C-alpha cells in the first residue's frame, strides 16, 4: 500500500432477486469488484446453489487510491454459452470514507443493481471497512 492509497476490505455477502431475461437465475453467480482509477479487478468464487439469492460471504481486499471517487460492483452469471452481466452498482467512496464515522468502521450496505438497460435487477449486500494503518492503530490503542 502506498501513501496515495488506502486498503479497502469488501465482504461480498449476498444478493437478492437476481434475474436473467426476466426469469430468476438458477445458479453460477459471481461478483466482480473494481476500482476505476488503478483498474484493479477482484472476483468472488461462483455460487452454484443459491439461485436468485446467492450467498458468497467472501472478503476481497483492494487498494483504493485517495483520489478515487467510486468502485463498481458487478454481478455476473455463467450460462451454458457465456458469462452474462446481471446487474451493476456504482458505489460512491463517500458512502464509506470520511464524514463523522471513525476510520476502520464496518459499514453494512445494500445497493440496487441495474442491468444494461438501466432497469432494476436485484440487490447486492456488502460490508466495507477502510483498513486502519498499523502505526495509527497502535498509537490510538495506547492512549
Domains: count for the chain = 1
| Parent domain of 137 | 5-141
Q: Which pTM was predicted? A: 0.86
- Going by C-beta distance under 8 Å and a sequence separation of 6 or more, which residues neighbour residue 131? 6, 7, 8, 9, 61, 104
pLDDT in tens, 4-41: 778 999 999 999 999 998 899 999 999 999 987 778 89
- CATH code, domain with 112: 2.60.40.150
Task: Tell me how far the alpha carbon of residue 8 is from its chain's centroid.
Answer: 10
pLDDT at 101 over 80: no
Nearest CA among 96, 94, 39 for reference residue 62:
39
Amino acid at each position: 500500500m502506498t501513501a496515495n492509497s488506502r486498503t479497502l476490505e469488501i465482504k461480498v455477502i449476498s444478493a437478492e432477486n437476481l434475474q436473467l431475461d426476466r426469469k430468476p437465475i438458477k445458479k453460477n453467480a459471481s461478483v466482480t469488484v473494481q476500482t476505476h482509477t488503478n483498474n484493479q479487478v477482484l472476483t468472488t468464487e461462483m455460487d452454484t446453489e443459491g439461485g436468485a439469492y446467492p450467498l458468497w460471504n467472501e472478503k476481497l481486499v483492494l487498494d483504493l487510491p485517495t483520489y478515487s471517487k467510486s468502485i463498481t460492483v458487478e454481478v455476473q452469471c455463467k450460462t451454458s454459452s457465456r458469462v452474462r452481466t446481471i446487474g451493476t452498482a456504482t458505489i460512491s467512496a463517500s458512502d464509506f470514507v470520511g464524514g463523522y464515522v471513525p476510520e476502520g468502521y464496518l459499514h453494512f450496505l445494500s445497493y440496487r443493481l441495474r442491468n444494461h438497460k438501466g432497469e432494476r435487477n436485484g440487490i447486492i449486500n456488502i460490508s466495507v471497512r477502510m483498513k486502519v494503518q498499523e502505526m495509527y492503530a497502535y498509537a490510538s490503542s495506547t492512549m
